[in-house]
Amino acid sequence: MSCFVRISNSVSNVRLLFTKMSLSESVCRVTAASVHTLTSAESGNREAVLSRACPQSPLHVSRRYRNRKILSWPTDYLPYEWSYPPPKDLIAESGDHVHNTDPIELSTPKYGFELSEELQTASPEVKRLFSLELATMREIFHVKKKRFVKLVQRHPYDEYSMEYKIAHKTFRIRKLKEVLAAFPKRKEVKTDLCHAIHSRNKMLKYLRRWDRKRFDFVTQKLQISFTPAPLNCLPPPFTKKGDLRRLTKEYCAKMKQDKLDAFHAKLKAERADFLEEKRKTEEWIRSEEERLKLTEEERKSTEYVGILKELKHDA
């Protein structure tokens, strides 16, 4: 029977250790398990069973699980709710006011045939053959990119300026957003999109630092917004303990302020009675002074400030 008691206690304690219960529930369940074993034990060995079933500590864990650590302690004992903050959505906070590429007419000629005089005088079948209607998606996106880049391009052969690079990255971001909207489970697209947003943010930060006018021009033309982090101000790393300490300080400050506000409201409600009592007290003091016929020096000597000065002088 003693072996049965030991096994039941160890199993119940191990289960309690790895469950997210509060300490009070754990103690209650351990006590219930101990009482159950006591009722099933023999009456002669009741004291021995009691010493084994109810040890000194409320949680008696066997040696096998003694060195294991609990990964996350519960926070139900706090007077406020706490949970891990949601991860930052870089795609939603990319700064793009437009999330897709501009539509284009399929009758537009392919890239490289816009200025062809022969194509302008050709038959409709030939025009259709050299139009985007029979082009691949790569060719369609290439024409869209060329049109989009012309908004901030310095000259037709500009491919190395910061404005061109930002426009190129912006078009790639919007193109990847379209692909991600159609195929939301493709993780490689999401990864490429995050890398493109990071790269464009670096370029925007550089352009904003060295040429504010061009930065404003590019953001206005491309319909994007960018607010860099303040310089020399790194945010502290997020930790559970640090966040709990911060919330505890805020909770204590709020509780203190609430008590001060309640006390202020109480004093404000008692203000009329206090002023009435003060008026009556002052009238009584004046009447007593007139009855005793005190001089000006005697009045000053009876004041609190005068008495305090005399005590300091005597000391």
Mean predicted lDDT score pLDDT of the chain: 79
CA distance 199 to 193: 10
CA distance 175 to 148: 12
- pTM, two decimals, is 0.59
Whole-angstrom distance between the N-terminal and C-terminal Cα of the chain?
82
pLDDT of residue 58: 45
Q: Are 65 and 14 a contacting pair, CB within 8 Å?
A: yes
- Region label for 282, one of left (φ > 0), alpha (ψ between -120 and 50) or beta (otherwise): alpha
At 68-117, the pLDDT tens digits run 555 556 677 788 888 888 888 999 999 999 998 888 888 889 988 888 88
Q: Are 162 and 196 a contacting pair, CB within 8 Å?
A: no
Q: What percentage of the chain reaches a pLDDT higher than 70?
A: 72
pLDDT of residue 17: 43
